[in-house]
């Protein structure tokens, strides 16, 4: 059964395997580069190489189970992406390309976001001198992923116990049927965000004092190797004499 809440649940923070120990800047670079590259790619072959590279990364991060979980939850959307692209373009290659791009982004996002503690991201953006309000907005957005996943599961169970079924009917009917889950989840998220903002202020968030940090990060040799990793498909294709243009 396609269950959108499974996609959210797959983004719960985890250990991240080897990736968990990398400098946050390296992880952010990997995430940005590997999400962007398939989007800029000119061919299905290159996109397939990116997908392979993302799958390899997820194996290193130990997030294969999470990806399986997310795929089970998103097969409906994958089918939808394929069908919509085929209906509007009539091009099977383009439709397949869009699906590969989606899969590539999904796999790499799960592998990297589950290996990145939101606080690391906050510290990193702080190092880049971004305003605290911006960095903490991002931190909280990531922090809320597992909370939202829990909320959606609880709300789904509560609605199911009153006879609700979200897995019947066509695509539009299913989207319409998601409303009894989505609306309470949004209300809950808004309520939680207000309490969280108050709790943060009650712990001097926004104080004019210069913020310190308990943890410090070091950029090592392993980080350097991983910085080069997103360029690998391009290098491999160049070696076999393939011209992307």
Partner 1 sequence: MPVIRMENFGWRYEGQERWALRGVNLSVEQGEFVAIVGPNDSGKSTLVMAMNGLIPNNYYGVIEGSVVVKGMDTREHPVADIARHVGFVFSDPESQFLSMTVEEEVVFGLENIGLDVDEIRERVEWSLGLAHIPMDYLEKPPYELSGGQKQRVAIASILAMRPEIIILDEPTSMLDPVGKTEVIEVLREMRRSYNATIIVVEHRMEDIAPLADRFILVHDGRVLRDAPPREFFDDIDFLLEHGVFPPEPMVFVSELRKMGLYDGPIPLTLEEAISASREALSGLRGR
Provide the minimum distance between the beta carbon of 2 and partner 1 in the complex, in angstroms, as a whole number. Answer: 26
Locus of tokens 């699906």: 99
**Comparing C-alpha atoms, which of 127, 120, 166, 111 is closest to residue 143?**
120
C-alpha 176/C-alpha 39 separation (Å) is: 30
Which residues from 119-148 bind partner 1, rule CB under 8 A? 119, 136, 139-140, 143, 146-147
Max Cα-Cα span within the chain: 61
Provide the minimum distance between the beta carbon of 12 and partner 1 in the complex, in angstroms, as a whole number. Answer: 9
**Is 3 or 117 the residue whose CB approaches partner 1 more closely?**
117
Buried b (16+ CB within 10 A) or exposed e, 196-205: eeeeeeeeee
Establish if 211 lies at the interface with partner 1 (CB under 8 A): yes
| Chain center to CA of 172 | 25
Q: How many residues does the chain have?
A: 245
Q: Interface with partner 1 by CB under 8 A: which range of 34-42, 50-58, 93-101, 116-124? A: 116-124
**Comparing C-alpha atoms, which of 48, 168, 146 is closest to residue 97?**
48
Choose, by CB under 8 A, the member of 75, 88, 205, 242 that binds partner 1. Answer: 205
C-alpha 201/C-alpha 189 separation (Å) is: 18
Contact 122, 24 (CB under 8 A): no
Here's the x/- map for partner 1, 1-40, by CB under 8 A: it reads as: ------------x---------------------------
Provide the minimum distance between the beta carbon of 18 and partner 1 in the complex, in angstroms, as a whole number. Answer: 18
Establish if 213 lies at the interface with partner 1 (CB under 8 A): yes
Establish if 186 lies at the interface with partner 1 (CB under 8 A): no
Choose, by CB under 8 A, the member of 202, 218, 228, 245 that binds partner 1. Answer: 202
- Point out which residues bind partner 1 (CB under 8 A): 13, 117-119, 136, 139-140, 143, 146-147, 150, 191-192, 195-207, 209-214
């Amino acid at each position: 059964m396609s269950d959108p809440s499974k996609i959210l649940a797959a983004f719960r923070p985890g250990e991240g395997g080897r990736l968990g120990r990398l400098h946050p800047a390296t992880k952010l670079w990997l995430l940005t580069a590997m999400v962007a590259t398939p989007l800029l790619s000119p061919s299905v072959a290159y996109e397939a190489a990116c997908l392979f590279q993302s799958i390899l990364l997820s194996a290193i991060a130990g997030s294969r189970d999470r990806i399986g979980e997310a795929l089970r939850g998103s097969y409906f959307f994958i089918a939808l992406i394929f069908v919509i692209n085929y209906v509007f373009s009539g091009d099977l290659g383009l439709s397949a390309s869009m699906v590969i791009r989606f899969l590539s982004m999904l796999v790499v996002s799960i592998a990297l976001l589950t290996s990145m503690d939101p606080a690391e991201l906050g510290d990193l953006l702080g190092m880049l001198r971004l305003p605290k309000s911006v960095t903490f907005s991002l931190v909280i957005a990531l922090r809320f992923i597992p909370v939202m996943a829990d909320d959606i599961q609880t709300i789904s169970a509560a609605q199911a116990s009153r006879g609700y079924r979200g897995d019947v009917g066509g695509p539009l009917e299913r989207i319409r049927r998601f409303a009894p889950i989505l609306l309470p989840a949004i209300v809950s998220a808004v309520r939680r965000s207000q309490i969280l903002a108050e709790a943060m202020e009650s712990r001097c968030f926004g104080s004019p004092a210069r913020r310190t940090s308990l943890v410090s990060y070091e950029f090592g040799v392993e980080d350097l190797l991983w910085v080069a990793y997103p360029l690998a498909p391009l290098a491999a294709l160049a070696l076999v004499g393939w011209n992307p243009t």
